């Protein structure tokens, strides 16, 4: 009654395809959550006003008392607490995500607050919605980009090519991922803003991100402009046969 369908693919290929599909579905789910969070935040802050806030303290992710500027920090992840002033009254607002990249105490951030109730405020910059969007794009985009690159290489009928498609894809993904992480840490897209964050709040762990960016740029440029043509490789394979 039922006919057996033979896929004709090795087990490793089936597992790889399954992992790609699972990663893409997870990425799409996270991306949808990020869109919902971002739209909700935008609607909430539509009539808010903007004021400059200053980093006041760090709150450990465990939820205990905020740490002052001079106390020793022992936790690995913190919420950032900013202080802002409206009509002579001081208020505080914390990030909705925790981070291990701690800016310098006193560093500035734009705060958007409700004029009718100033204690309701949002911090301008990376938030939970942006993090979900970034994570979703990475989970869905990286496996799709790699699969597309491999497909192009396998299906290409040109014997001579001066571009390493897989290498260029890896390089571009490294650049996008590391630069996105630097934005999450610094709260700004601009290279100058990221540089200022690093000069004020540098820690050895943060050095990994610019190194990844440099490595990605190197691989990208090499793959686009200095890749060995595939024609020679084809001749060698033909000679062996």
- The 10s digit of each residue's pLDDT in 206-237 is 788 889 899 989 998 988 888 766 554 444 44
Tell me whether residue 236 is in a domain.
no
Lowest mean pLDDT: which of 52-56, 70-74, 120-124?
70-74
Instruction: Report pLDDT for 71.
Output: 43
Which domain covers residue 54, as residue numbers? 45-123
Provide the domain count of the chain: 1
Q: Identify whether 130 is part of a domain.
A: no
For the chain, the average pLDDT equals 79
Kindly state whether residue 89 falls inside one of the protein's structural domains.
yes
Instruction: Give the pLDDT of residue 149.
Output: 79
d(CA 239, CA 241): 5
Q: What are phi and psi of 143, to 5 degrees?
A: -65, -35
pLDDT at 6: 56
Q: How many residues does the chain have?
A: 241
Helix (H), strand (E) at residue 110: strand 108-114
- Domain contains 196: no
Kindly state whether residue 143 falls inside one of the protein's structural domains.
Answer: no
Q: Is residue 151 part of a domain?
A: no
Give per-residue pLDDT as tens, 150-173: 777 777 655 556 677 778 888 888
Q: What are 131-141's pLDDT values in tens digits?
A: 888 889 888 88
pLDDT, tens digit, for every residue of 170-209? 888 888 888 888 887 777 778 888 888 787 776 777 788 8
Q: How many CB atoms lie within 10 A of CB 55?
A: 19
């Amino acid at each position: 009654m039922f006919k057996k369908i033979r896929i004709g693919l090795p087990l490793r290929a089936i597992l790889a395809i399954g992992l790609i599909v699972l990663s893409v579905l997870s990425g799409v789910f996270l991306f949808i959550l990020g869109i919902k969070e971002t739209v909700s935040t935008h609607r909430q802050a539509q009539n808010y006003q903007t004021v400059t806030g200053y980093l006041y303290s760090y709150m450990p992710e465990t939820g205990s008392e905020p740490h002052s500027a001079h106390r020793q920090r022992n936790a690995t992840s913190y919420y950032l607490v900013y202080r802002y002033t409206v009509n002579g009254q001081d208020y505080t607002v914390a990030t909705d995500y925790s981070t291990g990249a701690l800016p310098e105490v006193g560093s500035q951030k734009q705060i958007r607050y409700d004029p009718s109730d100033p204690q309701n405020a949002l911090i301008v910059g990376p938030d939970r919605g942006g993090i979900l969007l970034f994570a979703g794009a990475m989970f869905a985009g990286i496996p799709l980009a790699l699969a597309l690159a491999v497909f192009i290489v396998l299906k290409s009928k040109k014997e001579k090519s001066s571009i390493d498609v897989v290498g260029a894809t890896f390089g571009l993904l490294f650049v996008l991922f590391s630069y996105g992480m630097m934005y999450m840490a610094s709260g700004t897209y601009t290279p100058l803003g990221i540089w200022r964050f690093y000069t004020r709040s540098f820690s050895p762990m943060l050095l990994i991100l610019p190194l990844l960016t440099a490595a990605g740029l190197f691989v990208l440029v090499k793959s686009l402009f200095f890749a060995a043509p595939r024609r020679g490789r084809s001749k060698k394979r033909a000679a062996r046969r």
